[in-house]
């Protein structure tokens, strides 16, 4: 057999194999298996979130910091020292900021029941001004008019009138007051109970980031040489390098934008005399990592802050208006201009993705949902079989 014949036979075998793969993908059993695998993945992500959440966050931060550690490595800085320096450079300012915000955060945690009680008292004053209206039953109304189904045959026979049911507005307001107070106390208890778990997960995440930055590249190189065929090694290395570079660029740019939004909002609130302006600026900057959902929660918090400081007057809307104006400028002009079309994501897919990760992992899932989607999109863009999914994600609004 000649070389040409062997090449033709090899091409025929590859075509037949590809046809078999396509036919298997079109079979009903293959689709059922895919759906079962997706459900199993969701089940695992939901019930193993205490284990997977720090790992995923650590992987994202490792992808973000790996290019910087590699640059320091080229400058003959040991990887261990550079990893510690990177963690200190990021964790130091956040630690100082957390110490500064501890007192106003504790103050607001104490004020939540008082604020709910004050709002309930104002609700009581509004409800007490209305008159209590007696509520009559349907039988009493029908009998007072002389119409009864059995009265057609038995005549108009008066029955003893039931007592009118009078619902007091003060009782209803008292019930609402108890429920609001109970909700505020339950929120405080939930926050205090979740604090040790959050601290433990934070320490776990920091340790994982440190070990991934120090030992991760050598382990990745060993995986490439052991498991990946020689002809595909360069593509895998280039894929990981591209994801690291693009993700670092994206997260760095978004972090700078959100930090600018938080500082601008905090400064504007401070200039207009809003209490705890630094706390609100930091919170709106963090919430802005979750598009659409974060600004809504930010406006709700600032509405609560305005009511707490000014009471139920028109001036209470001042913090919300300040934040809304700054956020509108950032969302419509700054972010599209800086990021461009390379990080374009369809709004419907993005909001569904946010809801899914919010249901799976709560607030942490909402914050990491967009970087995770960008990472998946970058990886899928390098695969020829996933090109259609990338075009779907990038569909214009």
How many Cβ atoms sit within 10 Å of the Cβ of residue 46?
Answer: 12
Q: How far apart are alpha carbons 124 and 175 in whole angstroms?
A: 10
Q: How far apart are alpha carbons 261 and 162 in whole angstroms?
A: 64
Tell me the two tokens of residue 40. 């199993």
DSSP-derived secondary structure for 335-388 = HHHHHTTTT---HHHHHHHHHHHHHHHHHHHHHHHHHHHHHHHHHHHT-GGGHH
Among the residue ranges 84-98, 118-132, 309-323, the one predicted with the least confidence is 118-132
- Mean pLDDT, residues 265-279 taken together: 92
Tell me the two tokens of residue 100. 């500064």
As a whole number of Å, the CA-based R_g of the chain is 31
- In the predicted structure, residue 15 carries a pLDDT above the cut 80: no
Hey, which residues does 166 pair with through a beta bridge? 134
- Which three-class secondary structure string do you get for 251-286? HHHHHHHHHHHHHHHHHHHHHCCCCCHHHHHHHHHH
The residue ranking higher by pLDDT, 12 or 258, is 258
Q: What does the domain layout of the chain look like in residue ranges? A: 49-120+169-227
Residue 105 contacts residue 283 (beta carbons within 8 Å): no
- Mean pLDDT, residues 295-324 taken together: 89
Question: In this predicted structure, what is the pLDDT of residue 263?
Answer: 94
- In the predicted structure, residue 2 carries a pLDDT above the cut 60: no
Among the residue ranges 122-126, 218-222, 297-301, the one predicted with the least confidence is 122-126
Question: What is the pLDDT confidence band of residue 145, given thresholds at 50, 70 and 90?
Answer: very low
Question: In this predicted structure, what is the pLDDT of residue 262?
Answer: 94
- In the predicted structure, residue 167 carries a pLDDT above the cut 50: no
Average pLDDT over the chain reads 77
Residue 347 contacts residue 292 (beta carbons within 8 Å): yes
Q: What is the β-pairing status of strands 134-135 and 165-166? A: antiparallel
Where are the alpha helices (H) located in 155-168, listed in sequence order? none
Residue 371 contacts residue 360 (beta carbons within 8 Å): no
Among the residue ranges 124-138, 189-203, 292-306, 383-397, the one predicted with the least confidence is 124-138
Sign of torsion over alpha carbons 174, 179, 184, 185:
positive
- Mean pLDDT, residues 359-383 taken together: 86
Question: In this predicted structure, what is the pLDDT of residue 391?
Answer: 85
Question: In this predicted structure, what is the pLDDT of residue 259?
Answer: 92
DSSP-derived secondary structure for 32-74 = HHHHHHHHHHHHHHHHTHHHHHHHHHHHHHHHHHHHHHHHHHH
CA atoms within 13 A on the CB side of 14: 6
- In the predicted structure, residue 126 carries a pLDDT above the cut 80: no
Distance spanning both ends of the chain, measured CA to CA: 58
Identify which of 10-19, 34-43, 382-391 has the greatest average pLDDT: 34-43
How many Cβ atoms sit within 10 Å of the Cβ of residue 213?
Answer: 24
* Tens-digit pLDDT profile for residues 345-363: 888 888 999 999 999 998 8
Identify which of 73-87, 186-200, 236-250, 381-395 has the greatest average pLDDT: 73-87
Question: What is the pLDDT confidence band of residue 64, given thresholds at 50, 70 and 90?
Answer: confident
The residue ranking higher by pLDDT, 253 or 135, is 253
Question: What is the pLDDT confidence band of residue 324, given thresholds at 50, 70 and 90?
Answer: very high
Please provide the size of the chain in residues: 397
Question: In this predicted structure, what is the pLDDT of residue 154?
Answer: 45
Question: In this predicted structure, what is the pLDDT of residue 135?
Answer: 45
- In the predicted structure, residue 160 carries a pLDDT above the cut 70: no
- In the predicted structure, residue 271 carries a pLDDT above the cut 90: yes
């Amino acid at each position: 057999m000649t070389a040409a014949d062997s090449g033709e036979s090899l091409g025929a075998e590859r075509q037949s194999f590809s046809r078999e793969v396509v036919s298997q993908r079109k079979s009903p059993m293959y689709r059922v298996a895919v759906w079962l695998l997706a459900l199993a993945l969701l089940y695992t992500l939901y019930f193993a979130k205490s284990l997977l959440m720090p790992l995923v966050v650590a992987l994202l931060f490792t992808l973000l910091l790996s290019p910087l550690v590699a640059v320091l490595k080229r400058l003959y800085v040991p990887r261990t020292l550079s990893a510690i320096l990177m963690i200190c450079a990021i964790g130091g300012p956040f630690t100082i900021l957390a110490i500064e915000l501890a007192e106003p955060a504790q103050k607001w945690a104490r004020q939540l029941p008082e604020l709910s009680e004050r709002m309930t008292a104002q609700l009581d004053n509004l409800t007490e001004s209305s008159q209590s209206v007696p509520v009559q039953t349907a039988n009493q109304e029908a009998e007072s008019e002389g119409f009864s189904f059995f009265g057609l045959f038995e005549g108009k026979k008066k029955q003893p009138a039931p007592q009118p049911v009078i619902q007091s507005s003060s009782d209803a307001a008292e019930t609402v007051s108890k429920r609001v107070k109970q909700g505020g106390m339950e929120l405080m208890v939930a926050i205090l109970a979740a604090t040790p778990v959050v601290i433990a997960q934070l320490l776990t995440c920091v340790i994982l980031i440190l070990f991934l930055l120090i030992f991760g590249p050598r382990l990745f190189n060993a995986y490439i040489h052991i498991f990946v065929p020689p002809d595909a090694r360069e593509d895998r290395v280039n894929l990981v390098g591209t994801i690291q570079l693009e993700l670092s660029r994206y997260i760095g740019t978004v972090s700078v934008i959100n930090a600018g939004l938080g500082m601008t909002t905090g400064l504007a609130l401070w200039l207009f005399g809003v209490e705890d302006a630094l706390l609100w600026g930091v919170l709106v900057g963090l919430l802005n990592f979750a598009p659409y959902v974060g600004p809504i929660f930010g406006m709700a918090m600032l509405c609560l802050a305005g009511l707490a400081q000014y009471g139920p007057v028109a001036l209470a809307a001042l913090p919300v208006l300040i934040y809304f104006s700054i956020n509108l400028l950032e969302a419509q002009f700054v972010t599209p201009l800086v990021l461009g079309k390379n990080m374009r994501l369809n709004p419907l897919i993005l909001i569904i993705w946010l809801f899914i990760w919010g249901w799976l992992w709560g607030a942490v899932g909402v914050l990491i949902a967009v970087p995770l989607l960008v990472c998946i999109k970058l990886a899928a863009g390098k695969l020829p079989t996933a090109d259609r999914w990338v075009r779907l994600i990038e569909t214009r609004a």
